[in-house]
Amino acid sequence: MLIDAGPDEAPRAVVCDKGYDSDTNRAMARERGAIPVIPHRSNRKAIPAHFAKALYRGRARIEQMMGKLKRFKRVALRCEKTARNFRSIVALAATFILLKSVHTA
């Protein structure tokens, strides 16, 4: 199931890429009370006029950040075995990324 996050979770939007463009996924999102933010494939017959581009841009930002985090070897290979240590390494890597973006701006 695409958005089965748990019984207490109520997502407001489901943001996916074109690979999840199907009527089933869209209906499943609407059943859970969420807005499906999935771009339509170019070969789709009925393309609605409205698409939440601002929400979709947020997805791209998250993917870019995950790509930057994976450039750190200890994050990509999950060298830290405990959850606490892994969170610490991810926080340290995120700090380095933030410092680099602030310094170059």
Q: pLDDT value at position 71?
A: 94
pTM of the model: 0.62
In sequence order, which residues have a C-beta less than 8 Å from that of residue 3 and are 6 or more positions away? 11, 14, 28, 29, 32, 34
Question: For 63-85, how does the pLDDT look when each residue is reduced to its tens digit (9 = 90+)?
Answer: 899 999 999 999 999 988 899 99
pLDDT tops 60 at residue 54 = yes
Place 2 in a pLDDT band, splitting at 50, 70 and 90. Answer: low
Lookup result for tokens 């929400």: 55
In degrees, rounded to 5, the angle at the alpha carbon of residue 63 between the alpha carbons of residues 59 and 67 is 170
Query: Taking the CB of residue 15, how many other CB atoms lie within 10 A of it?
Result: 21
Written as six digits, the tokens of 80 are 């830290």
pLDDT higher at 42 or 97: 97
Q: Are 21 and 27 in contact (CB under 8 A)?
A: no
Whether pLDDT at 48 is above 80: no
Q: What is the mean pLDDT of residues 25-29?
A: 87
Residue 87, pLDDT score: 94
pLDDT bin (cut points 50, 70, 90) of residue 1 is very low
